């Protein structure tokens, strides 16, 4: 078993405004043995120079350059260099609350070396736009989130999720599908806030933009559902496979703006509501207006 408790893997690109505070929030974590693996994905600003300075000052930080290009390939490359017993991923613009990494590790550290374990934490939004600031996700007590930064993954889980297909623009949806549908995994929920997620114009996707822009980014991300079904449906239980198939149908309807198809799909109510809120400008703008009420559920 590795003496290194956790590897935090970060993929960054052009984050000069936030990257120093983000990395220091991780490097200042205490109460466990961890490494920070940072992969620069071809930054064209001062990001890499800032990271070089930080790496020179902190022995537990390793700085790598992505030999390819793209967010998923950067995370894949970083994860392949991780040596901790557990791995979590992070972004170059978010903040890690003090003490949260040790608290998250404590929630999963009692499992055996060969167990497939995922620890889930919460996040809080951080934005200059008051509408999107200060929201706890998820809101429900005792429930962790299904966002990329929420997962504390054992080696068995990492080997199943990664490498994320590099034709996808992001890793979040693929990771959520794995955690949701590999039902034999041990899922540990917590109320620990593991991330302060910055909502700003530089995010890969957020609701600060209009619907056409949002949908243009969302649709390629959601292609992960069909791809995951093609690759892993034969490994899933019958119920999980059927649920995943219904998600594929629901997403097909969403991408076509087919409200009836969304409503008639047999996926969960929350999945149908999410699809409905992103199928056209009317429902999208309604969701934006009700963001404070609806976020986190």
Q: What is the percent of the chain where pLDDT is above 90? A: 88
Query: How many C-beta atoms lie closer than 10 Å to residue 231's C-beta?
Result: 11
Helix (H) or strand (E) holding 10: strand 6-12
pLDDT at 208: 75
Considering only 15-19, 90-94, 238-242, 293-297, which range has the smallest mean pLDDT? Answer: 293-297
Asked if residue 70 has pLDDT above 80, the reply is: yes
DSSP assignment, residue 165? P
pLDDT at 209: 85
Over residues 83-98, the mean pLDDT reads: 97
Partner residues linked to 196 by β-bridges: 95, 124
Asked if residue 294 has pLDDT above 70, the reply is: no
Cis peptide upstream of residue 297 (ω within 30 degrees of 0): no
- Which of 31, 71, 59 has its CA nearest to residue 192? 31
Following DSSP, what letter does each residue of 58-101 receive, concatenated?
Answer: -TTEEEEE-SS-SHHHHHHHHHHT--SSEEEEEETT-B--TTHH
Partner residues linked to 124 by β-bridges: 136, 196
Over residues 7-36, the mean pLDDT reads: 97
Mean pLDDT of the chain: 93
Cis peptide upstream of residue 107 (ω within 30 degrees of 0): no
pLDDT at 206: 63
Asked if residue 282 has pLDDT above 60, the reply is: yes
Dist. CA 50–CA 30, nearest whole Å: 23
Over residues 165-190, the mean pLDDT reads: 96
**Domains, the chain, ordered by start:** 6-198 (3.90.550.10), 211-294 (no CATH)
pLDDT level of residue 10 (50, 70, 90 thresholds): very high
Over residues 262-272, the mean pLDDT reads: 94
- Which of 227, 219, 218 has its CA nearest to residue 165? 227
């Amino acid at each position: 078993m590795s003496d290194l408790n956790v590897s935090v893997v970060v993929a960054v690109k052009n984050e000069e405004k936030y990257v120093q505070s983000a990395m220091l929030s991780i490097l200042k974590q205490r109460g466990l043995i961890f490494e920070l693996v940072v992969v620069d994905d071809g930054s064209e600003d001062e990001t890499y120079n800032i990271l070089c300075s930080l790496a020179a000052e902190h022995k537990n930080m390793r700085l790598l350059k992505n030999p390819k290009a793209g967010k998923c390939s950067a995370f894949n490359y970083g994860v392949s260099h991780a040596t901790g017993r557990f791995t979590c991923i992070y972004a170059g613009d978010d903040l890690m609350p003090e003490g949260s990494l040790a608290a998250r590790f404590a929630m999963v550290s009692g499992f055996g070396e060969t167990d497939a374990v995922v620890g889930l934490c919460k996040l809080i939004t951080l934005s200059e736009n008051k509408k999107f600031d200060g929201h706890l996700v998820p809101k429900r007590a005792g429930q962790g989130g299904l966002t990329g930064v929420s997962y504390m993954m054992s080696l068995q889980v990492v080997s199943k999720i990664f490498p994320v297909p590099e034709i996808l623009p992001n890793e979040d949806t693929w990771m959520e599908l794995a955690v949701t549908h590999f039902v034999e995994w041990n899922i540990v929920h917590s109320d620990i806030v593991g991330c302060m997620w910055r909502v700003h114009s530089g995010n890969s996707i957020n609701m600060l933009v209009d619907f056409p822009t949002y949908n243009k980014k969302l649709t390629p991300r959601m292609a992960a559902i069909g791809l995951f079904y093609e690759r892993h449906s034969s490994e899933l239980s019958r119920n999980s496979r059927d649920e995943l198939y219904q998600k594929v149908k629901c997403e097909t309807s969403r991408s076509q703006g087919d409200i009836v198809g969304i409503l008639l799909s047999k996926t969960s109510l929350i999945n149908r509501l999410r699809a409905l809120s992103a199928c056209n400008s009317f429902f999208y703008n309604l969701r934006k207006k009700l963001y404070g009420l609806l976020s986190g559920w």
